[in-house]
């Protein structure tokens, strides 16, 4: 051990002195916990007990769904069903949480999970290809249980569950009138399928996190209808958390066919996907300026932090350095993680970082040709925009710009993570706009501008070297 320790420290150019070793360990520990540990973003902080080990138990999941406490979040083509409540003359938007009993007529015949070959037939629990399977009727996903206490429970049967079980249903193929006619709605309420970004801006934190999970799962099931390995139809099992190829069903006729590769081994295309995106606030040497970019599909005068998808074989730090250089021509260093945000458009995890760079480098946007512009902004410029009533506002009609960007390549798609859309029109526009606090980009920008980032050593006055602090 002493020989190895000396070898290691000599390569780090650190004398193998016990005191130095302790100080080095302390400094590295400080870096590891340096920021972001407890920050909860919009769409994040989901408090459901997902009970993942019970998803394959059809008896348990079906029992939860048919219980009086069960609630269902409903989607149509990615749009959530929301309820508009009139309270004291004001309209309050909330995610519609439909009692599961009101949906039975549109879900088809029981069992809802663990379906056998014929309608009404319950599959044997010992048949792995049919564990909590649902291959007839609209897609239905078990999300988890909202429990009354913060301590997560470990129930073994439905009777042990305390709280509200939540499910998500895809009603895309159900006529809207047929669906709404099955629901009990009071006179003070109005149900409608709403454009998700504008609607979710008004949701509570719990509803927003519930929406993010539900929409991601419903979108995944709706998109993966055919097996990537053999082209056969797929069907959900594990209460919506796994896909399987219909060629592995016990009654499948596979005469003359080779076995589907998905029938053995572990395959990532049969499980829900999350696409990781690095999104970075790049600061100059003084910490008083930030590098922001404007995607070609962004609304007018809208700037944000630079973002891009992780590529195979990359760490977070590698991806940050590559993306910033490809988009702006700027080489960064000292990458530090801040926090993460789930982004359900359709299934991203935004990995928020800070990094430092020499601001004398020439900015160029011609490498991957994604940005229309990129430039450095001072703290004072950003603070003035944040103080402006429309500094983080996006008009409803501008949402089309984000939709168009969403259809482009992956990097442009990542850049659309600018937050929910505020439908109010702009008046007396600020010189530029930045994302709202509901998007991680807005948090990174705002916390830097206001000197609220732990570990950076930055205040309103700035003029603090980032060396050793970021």
CATH number of the domain within which 284 lies: 3.90.79.10
Instruction: Please tell me the total number of residues recorded for the chain in this structure.
Output: 470
Q: Among residues 270, 287, 310, which one ends one of the domains?
A: 270
Within this chain, do residues 257 and 279 fall inside the same structural domain, yes or no? no
pLDDT per position as a tens digit, 228-253:
999 999 999 999 999 999 999 999 99
Q: Is residue 264 part of a domain?
A: yes
Q: Give the range among 19-28, 62-71, 193-202, 326-335 with minimum mean pLDDT.
A: 19-28
Element (H, E) at 295: strand 289-295
What would the mean pLDDT of 156-168 be, rounded to a whole number? 96
Residues 265 and 279 in one domain: no
> Based on the domain organization, do 264 and 285 belong to the same domain?
no
Note whether 287 and 263 are same-domain residues.
no
Mean pLDDT of 387-403: 73
Q: Say whether both 302 and 190 belong to one domain.
A: no
**Higher per-residue confidence, 398 vs 423:** 398
Domain holding 71, by residue range, is 52-270
d(CA 107, CA 85): 26
Segment 359-374 shows an average pLDDT of 95
User: Where a domain ends, among 220, 247, 270?
Assistant: 270
Q: Is 209 within the bounds of a domain? A: yes
Asked if residue 74 is part of any domain, the answer here is: yes
Assess if residue 458 is contained within a domain.
no
Would you state the pLDDT for residue 37? 58
| Residue 39 located in a structural domain | no
259 in the same domain as 180:
yes
Domain contains 46: no
If you count DSSP H runs as helices and E runs as strands, how many of each does the chain have, helices first?
12, 15
State what percent of residues in the chain have pLDDT above 90: 71
Question: pLDDT tens digits for 197-226?
Answer: 888 888 999 999 999 999 999 999 999 999
| pLDDT interval class at 31 (50, 70, 90) | very low
My answer on whether 216 and 341 are in the same domain is no
| Residues linked to residue 118 through DSSP beta bridges, in sequence order | none
> Does residue 12 carry a pLDDT above 50?
no
- Asked if 241 and 362 sit in the same domain, the reply is no
What integer best gives the mean pLDDT of the chain? 85
Same domain, 118 and 104: yes
Instruction: For 121-146, write each residue's pLDDT tens digit.
Output: 999 989 999 999 999 999 999 999 99
Buried b (16+ CB within 10 A) or exposed e, 356-370: bbebeeebebeeeeb
What gap in Å lies between CA 439 and CA 41, rounded to an integer?
Answer: 8
Domain shared by 197 and 164, yes or no: yes
pLDDT for 405 equals: 55
- Segment 28-40 shows an average pLDDT of 53
Report how far Cα 452 is from the mean position of its chain's Cα atoms. 24
Same domain, 396 and 247: no
Q: Could you read off the pLDDT of 60-116 as tens digits, one per residue?
A: 999 999 999 999 999 999 999 999 887 777 778 899 999 999 999 999 999 999 999
Q: Are residues 241 and 357 in the same domain?
A: no
Residue 302 has pLDDT above 70, yes or no: yes
Which range is least confidently modeled, 183-197, 302-316, 319-333, 358-372?
Answer: 183-197
Domain boundary among 244, 270, 296: 270
User: Residue 308: which of 296, 325, 287 has the closest Cα?
Assistant: 325
What is the pLDDT at residue 466?
Answer: 43
106 within a domain of the structure (yes/no): yes
Question: What's the total number of domains in the chain?
Answer: 2
Say if 19 falls within a structural domain: no
Secondary structure class of 444 (helix, strand, coil): helix
């Amino acid at each position: 051990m002493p020989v190895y320790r000396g070898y290691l420290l000599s390569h780090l150019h650190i004398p193998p002195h016990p005191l130095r070793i302790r100080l080095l360990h302390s400094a590295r520990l400080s870096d590891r916990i340096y920021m972001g540990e407890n920050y909860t973003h919009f769409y994040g902080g989901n408090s459901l007990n997902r009970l993942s080990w019970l998803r394959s138990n059809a008896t348990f999941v079906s029992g939860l769904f048919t219980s009086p406490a069960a609630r269902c979040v409903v989607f149509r083509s990615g749009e959530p069903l929301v309820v508009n409540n009139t309270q004291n003359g004001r309209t309050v938007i909330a995610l519609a949480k439909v009692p599961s009993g009101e949906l039975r007529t549109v879900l088809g015949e029981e069992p809802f999970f663990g379906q056998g070959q014929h309608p009404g037939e319950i599959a044997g629990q010992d048949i792995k290809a049919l564990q909590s399977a649902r291959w007839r009727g609209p897609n239905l996903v078990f999300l988890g249980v909202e429990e009354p206490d913060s301590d997560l429970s470990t129930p073994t049967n439905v009777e042990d569950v305390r709280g509200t079980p939540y499910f998500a249903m895809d009603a895309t193929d159900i006529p809207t009138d047929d669906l709404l006619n099955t629901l009990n709605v009071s006179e003070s309420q109005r149900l409608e399928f709403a454009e998700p970004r504008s609607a979710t801006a008004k949701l509570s934190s719990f509803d927003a996190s519930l929406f993010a999970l539900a929409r991601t799962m419903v979108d995944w099931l709706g998109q993966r209808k055919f097996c990537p390995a053999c082209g056969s139809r797929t069907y959900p099992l594990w209460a919506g958390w796994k896909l399987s190829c219909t060629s592995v069903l016990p009654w499948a006729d596979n005469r003359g066919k080779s076995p589907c590769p998905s029938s053995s081994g572990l395959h990532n295309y049969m499980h829900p996907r999350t696409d990781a995106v690095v999104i970075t606030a790049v600061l100059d040497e003084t910490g008083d300026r930030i590098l922001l970019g404007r995607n070609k599909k962004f609304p007018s005068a809208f700037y944000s932090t630079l973002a891009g998808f992780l590529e195979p074989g990359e760490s977070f730090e590698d991806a940050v350095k590559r993306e910033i250089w490809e988009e702006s021509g700027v080489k960064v260093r000292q990458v530090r993680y801040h926090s993460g945000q789930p982004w359900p458009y359709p299934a991203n995890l935004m990995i928020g970082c800070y990094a430092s760079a020499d601001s004398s480098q020439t900015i160029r946007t011609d490498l991957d040709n994604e940005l229309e512009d990129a430039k450095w902004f001072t703290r004072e410029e950003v603070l003035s925009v944040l103080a402006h009533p429309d500094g983080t506002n996006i008009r409803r009609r501008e949402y089309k710009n984000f939709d168009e960007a969403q259809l482009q390549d992956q990097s442009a798609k990542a850049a659309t993570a600018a937050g929910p859309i505020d439908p109010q029109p702009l008046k007396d526009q600020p010189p530029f706009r930045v994302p709202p606090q509901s998007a991680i980009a807005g948090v990174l920008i705002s916390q830097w501008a206001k000197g609220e980032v732990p570990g950076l050593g930055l205040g309103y006055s700035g003029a603090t070297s980032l060396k050793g602090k970021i």
